[in-house]
Structure 1
Amino acid sequence: MKGQEWYQATEVAEEYDEKRFSRGGRLIDRREKQAVLDALGPVEDKRVLEIACGTGRFTVMLAERGADITGLDISGPMLQEGRQKAKQSGVDDHLEFMRGDAARLPFPDDHFDAVFAMRFFHLADTPAKFLTEMARVAKDQVFFDTFNRFSTRSLYNWLLPMGSRLYGSSEVDGLVEGAGLHLADSEHDFVVPYGFYRAVPDWVAGPFRKGDTAIGRTPLGRPLASVSYWDARV
C-alpha cells in the first residue's frame, strides 16, 4: 500500500484534515460527503463498515445519522484523530474504530449491510484483493471512489510524493466483476483536479467549482472527470 508509513506519522494525522479540507478543500469535503450519503441512502440502524477511515470524516458523519458503523484503518495516529472527532461530536459511544489490514478483514461473510472506501483505491497496490474482501463482508452494497487515468489528474500525478494509482473505466469494470459484484450506478466529477482546490482560497475555488460543475453536466463531463464514485451491489 502506497504511503503506509507516511500515514502512520503522528504529525501527518494531526495536520491531515487542515491541509486537505480547509480553504478551497472544503468544496471537496462537501462533495465527497454528499457522494457517500447519496449512495448509502438512509443509514439509521444500518450496519456499515468504512475501509481506510483515516481521521473519521465519514465515520463520524454516519454515526451522527444513526448508522451502526465501524471505521477500520491501518494508522493508529489517524484513528486517534477519529476518536477525538467522535468525542467532540458526542457519538464516541455509537461507533467503533479498529486498527486492521483491509486485505484481511477480521469479519465474517455478509457481516455489513454496506462497505465503503473513500480516498483508498488510489493508494492500493493490489486493488482486486481489497475489493474482493470488501465484497466478502458486504451483504448488499460496496461503494468506492477512484482517480481517473484519462483526466487532468494525470497531468500532475507524477509530481506527487507518492503518486496515485489511476484507473480507466474498463479496469474498474473488471475489478467489480472479479469481486463478484455488479455495478448499479456511478458518478463522475471534478474536471479541475483536487490539488487546485486545496491550493486556493474559498473566493477563488467557488467560481471555478461552478464552472467545473457546468462542464460536468455536458457530454464532456464524464471523459474529463478526474474522480469517479462507483456504487456496486452484491
Structure 2
Amino acid sequence: MKGQEWYQEDDIAEAYDDKRFSGGGRYIDRREKEAVLDALAPVDGKRILEVACGTGRFTVMLAERGADIVGMDISEAMLEQGRAKARAAGVEETLSFLQGDAGRLPFPDNHFDAVFAMRFFHLAPDPEGFIKEMRRVTKDQIFFDTFKRYSARSIYNWALPMGSRLYSTREAKELVVGADLELADAAHDFIVPYGFYRAVPRWLARPFRMADTTIGRTTAGDRLASVSYWDARIPE
C-alpha cells in the first residue's frame, strides 16, 4: 500500500497516537513538540499553518499558546481526531482544521508568518513541489523534519507498511536552497530510531533516551542521528 493510501485509512487514524506516542513513544512526542516550540517561538498572535497536521498534536498545542493556527491534512479521519483533541482542550473555537492537498495550498501568497510540517516529508511524493508551495504562502519561516538516509533508520525502513523517503544531509539542504530559502538552524537527534522507542515500554526506553541524548551532544551525535529538524527562512 502506498504511503498516502495507508495514511488515510480510518483505523490508522484511530490508533495513530496510541501506537506512536504511548510507552517509549512519549519521548518522541516530547522531543518533537520541543523542536516545534523552539523553532516557532514566540507563537502568541502569530499566524501559522501546519501542513499534514495529522491528529492535531501540534495544532492544538500551539492554539493553547495563543497562535492563530490552521491545521491542514489530506485525511478526514485524521482531522476528526484533531477536532476531538481541540474540543477536549477547549480551543475548538480558536483554530481551524481543513482537508486539503499540500501540493495546492488554498491560501494567498505570504498569508502566514510561519508554515511547518512534521512527519510529512518522508511520505511526500514531490518534496520539491511541496516545499515551494509552503514557501509561497509564508512571509518568513518554514520548519520541517526529515529522516536521515545514513542512520539506523535505514535498517528497518524496508519493513514499514508504507513507502518512506530518507534524506541525506545534502538532499535536505538542497530542498531548502531549491525553494529559495536560507537555512537558519538545524538540529539532529535520535541515534536510536523512532521504531525502537515505539516498541518498548517507557521504563525501558528511558535509559536508551538518556544515552541517546548524551551521545547526541558529542561531535559524533549529528552524524549518527536518524532525525533532522530544519528551520528555514525567506531571504531578506
In the superposition, the TM-score normalised over structure 1's length comes to 0.98
Deviation per CA, 1:76-115: give whole Å up to 9, x if none: 0100110010000000000000000000000011000000
Q: CA deviation at 1:2?
A: 4.4
SS in 1 for 2:66: coil
Matched residue, 1:199: 199
Contact 1:72 1:98 in 2 (8 A): yes
Query: Do the aligned partners of 2:3 and 2:163 also contact (CA within 8 Å) in 1?
Result: no
One-letter amino acid of the structure 1 residue matched with residue 76 of structure 2: G
Give yes or no for contact 1:24–1:206 (8 Å, CA) kept in 2. yes
2:161 and 2:55 map into 1 onto residues whose CA distance is 21
The DSSP-based 3-state class of the residue aligned with 2:23 is coil
After the TM superposition, which of the residue ranges 49-58 and 167-176 deviates more from structure 2? 167-176
Please report how far the alpha carbon of residue 163 of structure 1 lies from its aligned counterpart in structure 2 after TM superposition: 3.7
The answer on whether the counterparts of 2:79 and 2:99 sit within 8 Å (CA) in structure 1 is yes
Assess if the C-alpha contact under 8 Å between 1:128 and 1:175 holds in 2: yes
CA distance in 2, matches of 1:172, 1:190: 17
Cα distance in 2 between the residues matched to 1:124 and 1:197: 24
Q: Can you give the 5+ residue segments of structure 1 that lack an aligned partner in the other structure? A: none
Equivalent positions of 1:123-134 (< 5 A) are 123-134=123-134
Mapped pair 1:173 → 2:180: no
Q: Secondary structure at the match of 1:24?
A: helix
What corresponds to 1:153 in structure 2? 153
Residue equivalent to 1:141: 141
Question: Aligned runs of 1:82-97 on 2, under 5 Å?
Answer: 82-97=82-97
TM norm structure 2: 0.98
Matched, 1:10 2:16: no
Instruction: State yes or no: 1:186 paired with 2:186.
Output: yes
How far apart, in 2, do the equivalents of 1:2 and 1:104 lie?
Answer: 20
Task: Give the equivalent residue in structure 1 for 2:99.
Answer: 99
Quick check: 1:117–1:144 contact (8 Å CA) kept in 2?
A: yes
CA distance in 2, matches of 1:171, 1:13: 30
User: In structure 1, what is the Cα distance between the partners aligned to 2:67 and 2:137?
Assistant: 17
Matches within 5 A, 1:22-171: 22-171=22-171
Q: Is the 8 A contact 1:2 1:125 kept in 2?
A: no
Gaps of 5+ in 2: none
The residue identity in structure 2 corresponding to 1:74 is I
Identical residues among aligned pairs (%): 71
The residue number in structure 2 matching 1:231 is: 231
The answer on whether the counterparts of 2:6 and 2:162 sit within 8 Å (CA) in structure 1 is no
Q: Against the structure 1 CA distance between its residues 163 and 7, is the aligned structure 2 distance closer, same or farther, given a 3 Å change threshold?
A: closer
What is the root-mean-square deviation in Å for CA atoms of aligned residues?
1.0
